[in-house]
Amino acid sequence: MANKLISEMGLPKSIGNIFAARNIITTKDALSLTEFELMELLDVGLAEVMCAVALISEIASPPYQTVQSLLEQRMQNEYLRGHLPTHLKGLDAALSGGIPFGALTELVGPAGIGKTQFCLKISLLATLPSCYGGLDGHVIYIDVESKFSSRRLIEIGLNSFPEIFCLEGMAKEMAGRITVLRPGSLTEFTESLQKIKVSILQHQVKLLIIDSMAALVSGEYEQGPPRQHPLGWHISLIKSLAEFSRIPVVMTNQVRSRSASEITQYSFQVESRTGAIEDTANFDSHLVAALGIHWAHAVTIRLVLESRSGQRFIKVAKSPMSPPLAFPFEVTSSGILLLNDDGVEMAGPQINAIDHQGHSDIICHRDER
């Protein structure tokens, strides 16, 4: 609304012409000045200025909405948008149906925790016939770290959907719907993204997976003073791809060591439900998601995979439709399996902390290597 043209607002012609003559073209130009500054600049009276400002403000401001109308709008958007069910009952319930269409979903965690296993399973679900709860479409899988395994994919399919994969030729047909790209550099990844938009329309692509984003800039990105994000352009393009094609986009992210300054960066999160300030040392984790805060703001859903006391957990750390929840899981021959569909609600630093046991493939600060 800030860039709305004043000439299109229906102001009295006499005052409208004065705005134009003084090079006050947009709403922002007019409302950035005080009424007395406008009086002096336009050489008109206070009453005329106040009338013009009131009209500009009324037109530029969005209409008010009640909570009921917002709820109805959200329900309608969710209906139109749709979800890709993960077949993990508790997680699907928390996400109001599964991985949302038209949005970015991130999986973050240490190497070997199960991120790729998750991606392989949802790849199958996207290609699954609709009568079995799938999307009956194609998948583009950008395999940056060369971790995609067709053998593991078939194994997950045979154990998860034996009634389908045992049919003659079905395994080959579904595997043939998954296109795997392996860019060797950020430049090649950029070229791949340019081609994907056309492929999505031509080949009924129903899911885009990027495994992993952090690997594309490994060694190029590090903590430090704010600067241009190395994936800034790519983030914008991927978001537009998701919104334009209305498909789910799932990306994996690695973890890195936490800097000393970040331990107290979000001190407001350590306040307990009783109002008491809790000891941050009790929640201290040495790992955080890679790629920084700019990237974190770009994703709609963040699922954190971690390991504590020998047990793996998948946490809904960021979601507009769910409180922070943690579900215990294990990796089986049929992929990821939740051990409990009733998630445990989390609070404070536990939400973003990433615990690990037995995982060594993490990104370190350059001064820690």
Q: Are 27 and 89 found together in one domain?
A: no
Look at residue 68 and tell me if it is in a domain: no
Q: What percent of the chain has pLDDT over 70?
A: 81
Look at residue 35 and tell me if it is in a domain: yes
Choose between 87 and 298: higher pLDDT: 87
Q: How confident is the model at residue 120 (pLDDT cuts 50, 70, 90)?
A: very high
Q: How confident is the model at residue 74 (pLDDT cuts 50, 70, 90)?
A: low
Cα separations in angstroms, 53 against 16, 27, 50, 314 = 12, 9, 5, 52
Choose between 292 and 239: higher pLDDT: 239
Query: What is the reported pLDDT for 251?
Result: 93
Q: Are 303 and 347 found together in one domain?
A: yes
Statement: residue 249 has pLDDT above 90? yes
Q: Are 345 and 300 found together in one domain?
A: yes
Q: Are 101 and 209 found together in one domain?
A: yes
Statement: residue 322 has pLDDT above 70? yes
Angle, CA 347 vertex, CA 344 and CA 348 arms, to 5°: 150
Q: Are 194 and 316 found together in one domain?
A: yes
pLDDT digits (tens, 9 = 90+) for 203-241: 889 999 999 888 877 644 444 444 455 677 788 888 888
What is the pTM assigned to this prediction?
0.69
Look at residue 154 and tell me if it is in a domain: yes
At residue 47, φ and ψ (nearest 5 deg) are -60, -45
357: nearest Cα among 307, 284, 287: 307
Q: How confident is the model at residue 104 (pLDDT cuts 50, 70, 90)?
A: very high
Statement: residue 361 has pLDDT above 70? no
18: nearest Cα among 32, 1, 38, 37: 38
Residues 6+ apart with CB under 8 A from 2: 26, 27, 28, 60
Look at residue 1 and tell me if it is in a domain: no
Q: Are 314 and 362 found together in one domain?
A: yes
Scan for tokens 């609600």, then name that residue. Answer: 345
Query: What is the reported pLDDT for 269?
Result: 42
Statement: residue 110 has pLDDT above 70? yes
Average pLDDT of 150-175? 86
Q: Are 360 and 213 found together in one domain?
A: yes
Statement: residue 262 has pLDDT above 60? no
Look at residue 65 and tell me if it is in a domain: no
Look at residue 41 and tell me if it is in a domain: yes
Look at residue 103 and tell me if it is in a domain: yes
Q: Are 111 and 13 found together in one domain?
A: no
pLDDT digits (tens, 9 = 90+) for 14-27: 777 888 888 888 88
Distance CA 336, CA 134 (A): 17
Q: Are 55 and 94 found together in one domain?
A: no
At residue 99, φ and ψ (nearest 5 deg) are -70, 120
Query: Token pair for residue 281?
Result: 């040392």
Distance CA 23, CA 186 (A): 44
**Burial annotation 172-185 (CB, 10 A radius, 16+ → b, else e):** eebbebbeebebee
Measured in whole angstroms, how far is the alpha carbon of residue 344 from the centre of its chain? 22
Cα separations in angstroms, 121 against 106, 215, 293 = 15, 21, 28
Look at residue 99 and tell me if it is in a domain: yes
- Owning domain of residue 188: 80-368
Average pLDDT of 305-333? 91
Count: domains in the chain: 2
Q: Are 293 and 144 found together in one domain?
A: yes
CATH code, domain with 268? 3.40.50.300
Of 32, 60, 88, which marks where a domain is finished?
Answer: 60
Query: What is the reported pLDDT for 261?
Result: 54
Q: Are 46 and 162 found together in one domain?
A: no
Q: How confident is the model at residue 75 (pLDDT cuts 50, 70, 90)?
A: low
Q: Are 214 and 278 found together in one domain?
A: yes
